[in-house]
Amino acid sequence: MGTAAASPEQGVWRIDAERLWSRLMALARIGATPGGGVDRQALSAEEIESWRTMIDWAVSAGLEPSTDAAGNLFIALPGADRNAPPVLAGSHLDSQPGGGRFDGVYGVLAALEVLTTLSEHGVRPQEDIVCVAWMNEEGSRFAPGMMGSEAFAGVRSLEAVRAVRDADGIAVADALDALHAAFPALRRRPLGFPVAAYLEAHIEQGPVLEAQECTIGVVTGIQGKKTFDIVIEGERGHAGTLAMADRRDALEAFTRIAAALYAEIGGHDDAVKFTIGRLQVEPNAPSVVPERVTMRIDLRHPDNAVLGYLGQRLAALCETFAAPCSVRVTALVDAPSNGFDPALQQAIARAAGSIEATHMPILSAAGHDARHMAPLCPSAMIFIPCRDGVSHAEHEWAEPAHVAAGANVLLNVLLPYAGAGEGETP
């Protein structure tokens, strides 16, 4: 059909801001926590319920839901050429254990809102435009995260993903099969089908846009990230009898190692982010000298050379300060920093201008599924501010005006693919 039946207001297309906001709040009730946040773990009953809600909305707007073997959810606005590589836009529906109402779900609902708006206007694009919700971005229940986009991009095998187990011993394989069993009629797309372009809207999860009083962040790239599992082995003993001089206390060794890491790695420069997020002490009994400490380190830096250097120093510092205990450092995630497609960045800036929203280039400090789409097709991200830069917390908050602006930018970036608006694909 080409352009829409209904014409845009003053030449600029707009999504339905109230519908988008009410849907955000509706999904926030699925897995809602007493503190006002969300706990919606990957492949959980809550995620199944959110799929059901998404699919209801999709079908009522004339959109086509489907899935793939990795548990990604797709919702398509059908195009004239169903065999042409579609344009994808989305993010994820899972949250941190005490997460907020915007991280991930905003990008999915912004994309759904764009498709719904286009569908209501009778737009039939040349190729499919598809909203996607990637499986397990957060990695809270099944670690590490970004499973759906990594399996889609071929970064991790489906077999490796299915073998991961949660703290209760439940395998992704079983939880994933249960998810699919809950939607037996859902069409299956092949894993890793060709994609024409990928867009992801997200809250910034940092303080930059708010501090600059800027509405739209044109994301230039994602800072690199390395994660490590570190195990310190000492020897257990009786807290009341073992002389201090004779101890091999794994927690005391951790204190020495961590102090050195916080100082040298965490203090390397203003751009580094160094976090020990998870720590386990064994046997973790009140009157027993700890014999083992296991920790997870999250290290990020926008400069790949610095990131590589800090990773090496990290391992060396662990060795230096472990004695009289022993230490074992295992590298897990090794994701270098990446840059997004320049033409799509320009299209985002133009779209922001067309809705009279302020915009600025910004580096993503957090990882996103877009990291794994960037090598496959032109990809980019749209950031909106979040209050005090807070994310992964129950009081995470984004202003309704910013929520609407980000979705309107996404709409206007996608219009050329729909054969409307700017007229040319960027």
Tell me which residues touch a copy of itself (CB under 8 A).
96-98, 138-140, 143-144, 204-207, 223, 225, 227, 236-246, 249, 251-252, 255-256, 258-259, 262, 266-267, 270, 272-281, 283-290, 296, 298, 300, 365-367, 389-393
Spatial CA neighbour of 42 closest among 172, 188, 211: 172
> How many residues are listed for the chain in this entry?
426
Query: Binding residue per annotation — 402?
Result: no
Question: Closest CB to a copy of itself among 14 and 296?
Answer: 296
Residue 134's φ and ψ, nearest 5 degrees, are -75, 145
With the C-alpha atoms ordered 4, 9, 12, 13, is the resulting torsion angle positive or negative?
negative
Beta carbon nearer to a copy of itself, 6 or 323 = 323
Contact 139, 145 (CB under 8 A): yes
Residue 124: count other Cβ atoms within 10 Å of its Cβ. 16
CB of 164 to a copy of itself, least distance (A): 13
Instruction: Name the minimum Å distance from CB 137 to a copy of itself.
Output: 11
Residue number with CB closer to a copy of itself (124 or 273): 273
Distance CA 39, CA 224 (A): 27
Residue 302 Cβ, how far from a copy of itself at the closest point, in Å? 11
Cα 364 from Cα 272, distance rounded (Å): 13
* Strand, helix or coil for residue 44: coil
Cβ distance to a copy of itself smaller for residue 207 or 353:
207
Q: Which of 118, 110, 108 is nearest to 79 (CA)?
A: 118
Residue 264 burial class via C-beta count within 10 angstroms: exposed 0-12, middle 13-18, buried 19 and up: middle
- Euclidean distance between CA atoms 312 and 178, whole angstroms: 41
Matching residue, tokens 């004779």: 246
Least distance from a copy of itself to the Cβ atom of residue 83, Å: 38
Q: Cβ neighbours of residue 331 under 8 Å, at least 6 residues apart?
A: 226, 227, 228, 311
47 or 138: whose CB is closer to a copy of itself?
Answer: 138
Annotated binding-site residue? 92? yes
The answer to whether the CB of 74 falls within 8 A of the CB of 134 is no
CA distance linking residue 183 with residue 349, whole number of Å: 39
| Min dist. Cβ of residue 36 to a copy of itself (A) | 14
In order, the DSSP letters of 201-212 are EEE-SSSHHHHT
In whole angstroms, give the CA distance from residue 3 to residue 80.
13
Q: Is 359 annotated as a binding residue?
A: no
- According to the annotation, is 395 in a ligand binding site? no
Q: Give whichever of 190 and 286 is closer to a copy of itself, judged by the CB atom.
A: 286
Nearest distance, CB of residue 385 and a copy of itself, angstroms:
12
Minimum Å distance from CB 21 to a copy of itself? 23
252 marked ligand binding residue: no
> Which of helix, strand or coil describes residue 77?
strand
Q: In this complex, which beta carbon is closest to a copy of itself, that of residue 238 or of residue 424?
A: 238
Shortest Å, Cβ 142 to a copy of itself: 11
Q: With respect to a copy of itself, which residue has the nearer C-beta, 180 or 273?
A: 273
Residue list, annotated binding site: 92, 103, 138, 202, 392
Binding site feature residues for Zn(2+): 92, 103, 138, 202, 392
